[in-house]
């Protein structure tokens, strides 16, 4: 079993979905007004501390993680669906550092601890 105690990963949160420009169109309604829906939220990037892991070997070959974008809004005031979050499963005692190797973003010390590293974008209006 290989042991890896340091890994460099590249993270990107999801962008919010675009809103919809739509106007109500029905028979016998002269001025329907706007009825476009908002876009959905983008996905977050979350670090979760789990039991049973003792190495970062899973992040040696897959280094790029990108959350999905939110779905677009639709007519009739339909809001777009929010995207799923990306969850990085890490062992107890993991410190997450910024690119400068000095700024500590998160310190995972307890099983079940979750830290949001990147927040997804808001949906458009």
pLDDT tens for 92-114 read 999 999 999 999 999 999 999 99
Res 69: pLDDT = 98
Question: Is it the case that residue 1 has pLDDT exceeding 70?
Answer: no
Sort strands 45-49 and 86-90 into parallel, antiparallel or unpaired.
parallel
Tens digits of residue pLDDT in 67-88: 999 999 999 999 999 999 999 9
Q: Do 11 and 119 touch, CB atoms closer than 8 A?
A: no
Dist CA 38 CA 17 (whole Å): 8
Domains in the chain, CATH or no CATH each: 8-13+35-125 (2.70.210.12)
Per-residue pLDDT, 2: 73
DSSP 26-94: -TT-S---B-PPPPPPPPPEEEEE-TT----THHHH--EEEPPPPPPPBTTTBPPPPPPPEEEEE-TT-
Residue 4: pLDDT above 90? no
pLDDT digits (tens, 9 = 90+) for 22-62: 999 999 988 899 999 999 999 999 999 999 999 999 999 99
Q: Name the pTM for this structure.
A: 0.88
The Cα–Cα gap between 5 and 63 comes to 14
């Amino acid at each position: 079993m290989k042991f890896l105690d340091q890994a460099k990963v590249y993270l990107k949160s999801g962008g919010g979905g675009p809103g919809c420009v739509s106007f109500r169109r029905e028979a016998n309604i002269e001025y329907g007004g706007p009825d476009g829906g908002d876009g959905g939220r983008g996905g977050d990037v979350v670090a979760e501390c789990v039991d049973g892991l003792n190495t970062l070997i899973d992040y040696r070959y897959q280094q790029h993680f990108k959350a999905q974008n939110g779905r677009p809004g639709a007519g009739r005031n339909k809001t777009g669906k929010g995207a799923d979050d990306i969850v990085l499963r890490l062992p107890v005692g993991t410190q997450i550092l910024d690119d400068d190797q000095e700024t500590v973003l998160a310190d995972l010390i307890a099983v079940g601890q979750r830290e949001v590293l990147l927040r997804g974008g808001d949906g458009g209006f």
